């Protein structure tokens, strides 16, 4: 992730104008002029230039129209990126790498807009999980576009490409934001805009991995049978040659394409060993379940970093895009070290993805929770600067976050959340976890390291830490600014019912966007059941979870 975010793209006064503009009382099906429909979007002036000027329609029609325009725009933007790549002989390696990221992300945006449009064209009424599905896709489109922009911005040698794409990229971002705004007004019921919690008692999901020993897990992986999880096929990766494959990448390639949610998992059992490879689970490899022999036993490791010429996005040792991915009993590692700055161990942009009893080891930018909906249970995360970052809707439950020893002069920041639009349903939630010193930090108590819970990477950064243990390493102010007063009024940072010597909130930052929650109703907005609608999809993973407050 870039060291500093220079863009304060919205003036404070423009920000106030759209945050506090009076809401219309008209229901979504009531015809309104386009100027009225645009009033509560993130850029009313741009919105009015997009919607048809003649005729009066309702919010549903405007929402469908903007989504269709967004799809057309996404195709045009991909074509522009492809044209730059076709002339890559005149481009630097850094520029090509950034453009390749944009190419991948633009292709995903086309997929997401096509899926969202198909849903919106069928009905004016969307119930959960459909409404949440579409909002998730439209949120991810903005994240993808921002990632493309960040990659080009971070590559000094890409200035000519950056200049050529600057206006199309800015217009794309504004258009996608308008589509998300209009969707939220028309299709998201008011009670869901604030994620009002369910009145049902908390559910504790129990599955295959909740009370079974490792031998049962291995038998399930090898034999392809389990009472709690449906399995299409199971294969084994073993570096000795005793299995079906000797590399993890080869097993992923062998997975069937586009499995459905009800088809069952393609299970890959990865035997103990150290696998030095960079693995990508592409978007068409859906519902892959990867099971190892345990943390520190089954290890996938790499050493890509920004210093060595990779983009942050593509520095990941393990990257997953395929929906429904599950990983159990594995370690994902990046050994580039603190001097190489951004170096990702795992990047996840897979919707409905789950990680259980896994570890993620790196320094700066260890775990890139890039986009869509994710859940982590009983995992260990090690790092220094912004080591849990991204813009997914993600919940960490029963995990331990280990602050490592950084370079001299660096501070540790656990999170750097990247929500860039007020209508995105994203945020980083840390529930029932522990934030502690890793052994090397604890052993060097004389080394002056300041430890913060997070800092705001983007304008609407949202992070909630609740019901967790905070060790004494956490600085009393709790949170670190990114750059001056950037995002301090627009972020949403909250703490609720934490314990430990680092949990005292009496000396915390006094930012307008920081909150100490005292209400279970407010805190329940950020649980598994509300933040990622886990009741709809986590049971089939076999991973234990608590849907409400602990």
Q: Active-site positions?
A: 386
Distance from C-alpha of 415 to C-alpha of 341, rounded to nearest angstrom: 15
Can you tell me the distance from the alpha carbon of 358 to that of 375, in angstroms, rounded to the nearest whole number?
Answer: 12
Q: Tokens representing 457?
A: 């990477």
First to last CA, the chain: 32
Angle value at C-alpha 281, between 131 and 141, nearest 5 degrees: 35
CA 187 to chain centre: 23
- How deeply is 22 buried, as exposed, middle or buried, from its count of CB atoms within 10 A (0-12, 13-18, 19+)? exposed
Q: Which residues pair with 383 in a beta bridge?
A: 403
Task: For residue 142, give the DSSP letter.
Answer: H
DSSP one-letter code for 22: P
Using an 8 Å Cβ cutoff, are 74 and 113 in contact? Answer: yes
Q: Which of 390, 416, 388 is nearest to 401 (CA)?
A: 388
Among positive and negative, which fits the CA dihedral 23, 24, 28, 31? negative
Number of CB atoms found within 10 A of residue 156's CB: 10
DSSP letter string, 208-254: TTTS--HHHHHHHHHHT--SSS-EEEEEEE-TTS-SSBSSHHHHHHH
CA distance 3 to 482: 9
DSSP state of 474: B
Nearest Cα neighbor of 224 from 236, 237, 242 is: 236
Angle, helices 59-86/93-120, rounded to nearest 10 degrees: 160
Q: Are 34 and 449 in contact (CB under 8 A)?
A: no
24: Cβ contacts below 8 Å, ≥ 6 apart: 32, 36, 39, 40
Phi, psi dihedral angles at 276 (to 5 degrees): -90, 90
Report yes or no: 198 and 92 within 8 Å, Cβ to Cβ.
Answer: no
Residue 48 CB partners (closer than 8 Å, separation 6+): 34, 35, 38
Give the torsion sign (CA, 465, 466, 468, 470). Answer: positive
């Amino acid at each position: 992730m870039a060291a500093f975010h220079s863009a304060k793209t919205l003036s404070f006064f423009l920000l106030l104008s759209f945050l506090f503009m009076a809401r219309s009382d008209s229901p979504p099906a009531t015809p309104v002029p386009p100027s009225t429909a645009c009033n509560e979007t993130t850029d009313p002036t741009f919105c009015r230039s997009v919607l048809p000027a003649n005729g009066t329609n309702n919010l549903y029609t405007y929402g469908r129209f903007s989504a269709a325009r967004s799809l057309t725009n996404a195709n045009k933007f991909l074509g522009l990126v492809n044209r730059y790549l076709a002339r890559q002989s005149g481009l630097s390696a850094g520029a090509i790498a950034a453009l390749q990221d944009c190419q991948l992300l633009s292709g995903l945006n086309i997929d997401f807009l096509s899926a969202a449009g198909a849903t919106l064209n069928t009905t004016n009424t969307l119930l959960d999980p459909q409404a949440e599905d579409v909002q998730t896709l439209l949120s991810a489109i903005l994240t993808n576009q921002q990632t493309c922009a960040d990659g080009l911005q971070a590559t000094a040698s890409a200035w000519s490409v950056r200049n050529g794409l600057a206006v199309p990229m800015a217009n794309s971002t504004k258009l996608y934001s308008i589509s998300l705004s209009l969707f939220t007004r028309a299709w998201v019921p008011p009670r869901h805009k604030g994620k009002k919690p369910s009145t049902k008692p908390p559910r504790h999901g129990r599955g295959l991995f909740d009370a079974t020993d490792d031998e049962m897990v291995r038998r399930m992986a090898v034999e392809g049978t389990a009472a709690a999880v449906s399995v299409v096929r199971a294969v084994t990766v073993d570096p000795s040659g005793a299995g079906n494959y000797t590399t993890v990448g080869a097993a992923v390639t062998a997975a069937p394409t586009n499995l459905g949610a009800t088809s069952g998992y393609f299970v890959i059992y990865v035997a103990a060993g150290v696998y030095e490879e960079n693995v990508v689970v592409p978007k068409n490899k859906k519902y892959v379940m990867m099971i190892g022999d345990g943390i520190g036993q089954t290890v996938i490791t790499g050493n890509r970093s920004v210093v060595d010429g990779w983009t942050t996005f593509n520095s990941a040792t393990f990257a997953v895009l395929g929906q429904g991915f599950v990983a159990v009993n594995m370690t994902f590692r990046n050994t580039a070290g603190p001097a190489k700055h951004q170096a990702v161990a795992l990047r996840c942009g897979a919707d409905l993805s789950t990680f259980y009893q896994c570890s993620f080891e790196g320094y700066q930018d260890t775990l890139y929770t890039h986009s869509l909906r994710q859940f982590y249970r009983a995992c260990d995360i090690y790092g220094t600067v912004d080591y849990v970052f991204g813009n997914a809707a993600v919940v960490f439950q029963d995990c331990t976050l280990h602050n490592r020893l950084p370079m001299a002069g660096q501070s540790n920041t656990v999170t750097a959340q990247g929500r860039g639009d007020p209508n995105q349903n994203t945020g980083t939630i840390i529930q029932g976890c522990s934030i502690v010193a890793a052994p090397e930090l604890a052993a060097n108590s004389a080394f002056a390291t300041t430890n913060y819970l997070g800092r705001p990477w983007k304008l609407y950064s949202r992070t909630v830490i609740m019901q967790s243990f905070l060790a004494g390493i956490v600085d009393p102010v709790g949170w670190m600014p990114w750059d001056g007063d950037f995002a301090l009024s627009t972020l949403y940072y909250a703490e609720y019912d934490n314990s430990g010597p680092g949990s005292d909130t009496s000396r915390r930052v006094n930012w307008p966007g920081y909150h100490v929650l005292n209400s279970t109703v407010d805190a329940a907005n950020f649980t598994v059941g509300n933040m990622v609608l886990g009741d709809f999809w986590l049971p089939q993973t076999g991973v234990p979870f608590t849907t409400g407050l602990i």
